[in-house]
Structure 1
Protein backbone atom coordinates (compact mmCIF):
# COMPACT_ATOMS: atom_id res chain seq x y z
CA UNK A 1 0.00 0.00 0.00
CA UNK A 2 2.83 2.34 -0.89
CA UNK A 3 0.34 4.42 -2.88
CA UNK A 4 -1.39 5.47 0.34
CA UNK A 5 1.42 7.90 1.17
CA UNK A 6 0.60 9.87 -1.98
CA UNK A 7 -3.15 9.91 -1.44
CA UNK A 8 -4.99 13.23 -1.28
CA UNK A 9 -6.78 12.03 1.86
CA UNK A 10 -3.57 12.02 3.90
CA UNK A 11 -4.08 14.72 6.50
CA UNK A 12 -7.86 14.82 6.04
CA UNK A 13 -10.23 13.85 8.84
CA UNK A 14 -10.67 10.05 8.47
CA UNK A 15 -14.26 10.30 9.66
CA UNK A 16 -15.09 12.15 6.45
CA UNK A 17 -14.42 8.94 4.51
CA UNK A 18 -16.51 6.73 6.79
CA UNK A 19 -19.89 8.45 7.07
CA UNK A 20 -22.42 6.91 9.42
CA UNK A 21 -25.85 6.55 7.90
CA UNK A 22 -27.38 6.96 4.47
CA UNK A 23 -28.97 10.41 4.60
CA UNK A 24 -28.40 14.01 5.66
CA UNK A 25 -24.91 14.61 7.06
CA UNK A 26 -23.69 11.19 5.91
CA UNK A 27 -24.49 12.04 2.28
CA UNK A 28 -22.76 15.40 2.65
CA UNK A 29 -19.66 13.75 4.14
CA UNK A 30 -19.56 11.15 1.34
CA UNK A 31 -19.82 13.89 -1.28
CA UNK A 32 -17.02 15.86 0.41
CA UNK A 33 -14.87 12.73 0.58
CA UNK A 34 -15.44 12.09 -3.13
CA UNK A 35 -14.32 15.66 -3.86
CA UNK A 36 -11.03 14.89 -2.11
CA UNK A 37 -10.76 11.72 -4.19
CA UNK A 38 -11.38 13.71 -7.37
CA UNK A 39 -8.12 15.60 -6.87
CA UNK A 40 -6.14 12.48 -5.92
CA UNK A 41 -3.48 10.99 -8.16
CA UNK A 42 -3.73 7.46 -6.72
CA UNK A 43 -7.49 6.97 -7.05
CA UNK A 44 -7.10 3.92 -9.31
CA UNK A 45 -4.87 2.11 -6.81
CA UNK A 46 -7.19 3.02 -3.96
CA UNK A 47 -10.23 1.74 -5.84
CA UNK A 48 -8.42 -1.47 -6.80
CA UNK A 49 -7.55 -2.03 -3.14
CA UNK A 50 -11.18 -1.57 -2.11
CA UNK A 51 -12.46 -3.87 -4.85
CA UNK A 52 -9.94 -6.57 -3.91
CA UNK A 53 -10.70 -6.30 -0.19
CA UNK A 54 -14.47 -6.52 0.18
CA UNK A 55 -16.30 -5.74 2.21
CA UNK A 56 -14.67 -2.38 2.68
CA UNK A 57 -16.81 0.35 4.17
CA UNK A 58 -16.50 4.04 3.45
CA UNK A 59 -15.33 6.02 0.45
CA UNK A 60 -12.37 4.53 -1.41
CA UNK A 61 -11.12 5.53 -4.84
CA UNK A 62 -13.94 8.02 -5.26
CA UNK A 63 -16.66 5.42 -4.74
CA UNK A 64 -18.96 4.47 -1.91
CA UNK A 65 -19.93 0.95 -0.88
CA UNK A 66 -22.96 0.79 -3.19
CA UNK A 67 -20.99 1.99 -6.18
CA UNK A 68 -18.28 -0.60 -5.58
CA UNK A 69 -20.87 -3.34 -5.19
CA UNK A 70 -22.31 -2.33 -8.58
CA UNK A 71 -18.85 -2.37 -10.17
CA UNK A 72 -18.26 -5.88 -8.82
CA UNK A 73 -21.70 -7.08 -10.01
CA UNK A 74 -21.08 -5.66 -13.47
CA UNK A 75 -17.66 -7.31 -13.67
CA UNK A 76 -19.11 -10.69 -12.59
CA UNK A 77 -21.91 -10.38 -15.14
CA UNK A 78 -19.40 -9.55 -17.88
CA UNK A 79 -17.32 -12.62 -17.02
CA UNK A 80 -20.43 -14.82 -17.05
CA UNK A 81 -21.47 -13.49 -20.45
CA UNK A 82 -18.03 -14.06 -21.93
CA UNK A 83 -17.71 -17.58 -20.55
CA UNK A 84 -21.21 -18.72 -21.50
CA UNK A 85 -20.79 -17.94 -25.19
Structure 2
Protein backbone atom coordinates (compact mmCIF):
# COMPACT_ATOMS: atom_id res chain seq x y z
CA UNK A 1 0.00 0.00 0.00
CA UNK A 2 2.98 2.33 0.45
CA UNK A 3 3.39 2.64 -3.33
CA UNK A 4 -0.29 3.50 -3.71
CA UNK A 5 0.00 6.19 -1.05
CA UNK A 6 2.95 7.80 -2.79
CA UNK A 7 1.68 7.42 -6.34
CA UNK A 8 -1.90 8.50 -5.89
CA UNK A 9 -1.11 12.22 -5.71
CA UNK A 10 1.25 12.34 -8.66
CA UNK A 11 -0.16 13.26 -12.05
CA UNK A 12 0.60 10.88 -14.89
CA UNK A 13 -0.84 10.00 -18.29
CA UNK A 14 -3.88 8.38 -16.69
CA UNK A 15 -4.39 11.15 -14.14
CA UNK A 16 -3.42 14.57 -15.53
CA UNK A 17 -6.14 16.09 -13.34
CA UNK A 18 -4.12 15.12 -10.24
CA UNK A 19 -1.98 18.23 -10.76
CA UNK A 20 -5.05 20.30 -9.81
CA UNK A 21 -6.18 18.13 -6.89
CA UNK A 22 -6.62 19.46 -3.37
CA UNK A 23 -4.87 16.40 -1.94
CA UNK A 24 -1.62 17.21 -3.68
CA UNK A 25 0.95 18.04 -1.03
CA UNK A 26 -1.14 16.64 1.81
CA UNK A 27 -0.09 13.73 4.01
CA UNK A 28 -1.07 10.59 2.05
CA UNK A 29 -2.08 8.83 5.27
CA UNK A 30 -5.10 11.17 5.42
CA UNK A 31 -6.42 9.38 2.34
CA UNK A 32 -5.41 5.88 3.36
CA UNK A 33 -6.68 5.72 6.94
CA UNK A 34 -6.25 2.55 8.94
CA UNK A 35 -9.21 0.47 10.05
CA UNK A 36 -9.59 2.42 13.29
CA UNK A 37 -8.72 5.85 11.88
CA UNK A 38 -11.23 8.58 11.11
CA UNK A 39 -11.44 9.36 7.36
CA UNK A 40 -13.18 12.72 7.90
CA UNK A 41 -10.12 14.92 7.25
CA UNK A 42 -9.40 13.27 3.90
CA UNK A 43 -13.07 13.41 2.96
CA UNK A 44 -13.23 17.11 3.88
CA UNK A 45 -10.27 17.86 1.61
CA UNK A 46 -12.01 15.99 -1.21
CA UNK A 47 -15.23 17.91 -0.63
CA UNK A 48 -13.59 21.16 -1.74
CA UNK A 49 -11.68 19.66 -4.66
CA UNK A 50 -12.46 20.79 -8.21
CA UNK A 51 -11.38 17.47 -9.76
CA UNK A 52 -13.35 15.27 -7.39
CA UNK A 53 -15.47 13.70 -10.14
CA UNK A 54 -12.44 12.91 -12.32
CA UNK A 55 -10.79 11.29 -9.31
CA UNK A 56 -13.87 9.20 -8.54
CA UNK A 57 -14.24 8.16 -12.18
CA UNK A 58 -10.60 7.10 -12.22
CA UNK A 59 -10.91 5.14 -8.97
CA UNK A 60 -13.93 3.21 -10.21
CA UNK A 61 -12.42 2.51 -13.62
CA UNK A 62 -9.04 1.50 -12.13
CA UNK A 63 -10.80 -0.51 -9.42
CA UNK A 64 -8.91 1.24 -6.66
CA UNK A 65 -9.56 -0.93 -3.64
CA UNK A 66 -7.91 1.17 -0.96
CA UNK A 67 -8.11 4.72 0.24
CA UNK A 68 -10.27 7.76 -0.27
CA UNK A 69 -10.74 8.71 -3.91
CA UNK A 70 -13.13 11.31 -5.30
CA UNK A 71 -14.63 11.94 -1.89
CA UNK A 72 -15.58 8.31 -1.33
CA UNK A 73 -14.37 5.59 0.98
CA UNK A 74 -13.56 2.06 -0.08
CA UNK A 75 -16.95 0.86 1.13
CA UNK A 76 -18.84 3.61 -0.70
CA UNK A 77 -17.11 2.77 -3.98
CA UNK A 78 -17.87 -0.93 -3.60
CA UNK A 79 -21.55 -0.07 -3.19
CA UNK A 80 -21.46 2.18 -6.26
CA UNK A 81 -19.87 -0.54 -8.38
CA UNK A 82 -22.45 -3.10 -7.24
CA UNK A 83 -25.28 -0.74 -8.22
CA UNK A 84 -23.74 -0.16 -11.64
CA UNK A 85 -23.19 -3.86 -12.35
- The answer to whether the superposition gives a TM-score over 0.5 is yes
CA RMSD, Structure 1 to Structure 2 (Å) = 0.9
Equivalent of 1:59 in 64, 68, 71: 68
Q: Deviations over 1:34-81 (max 9, x none)?
A: 0000000000000001001114300000001100000001111xxxxx
Runs of 4+ in 1 over 3 A off after TM superposition: none
Larger-Rg structure: 1
Structure richer in helix, relative to its length: 1
* Consecutive unaligned residues in structure 2, runs of 5 or more: 1-14
Answering whether residue 21 of structure 2 is matched by residue 12 of structure 1, we say no
Q: The residue matched to 1:69 in structure 2 has which SS? A: helix
Equivalent of 1:3 in 2, 17, 42: 17
Aligned residues: 71
Residue number in structure 2 paired with 1:80: none
Residue number in structure 1 paired with 2:11: none
Residue number in structure 2 paired with 1:33: 42
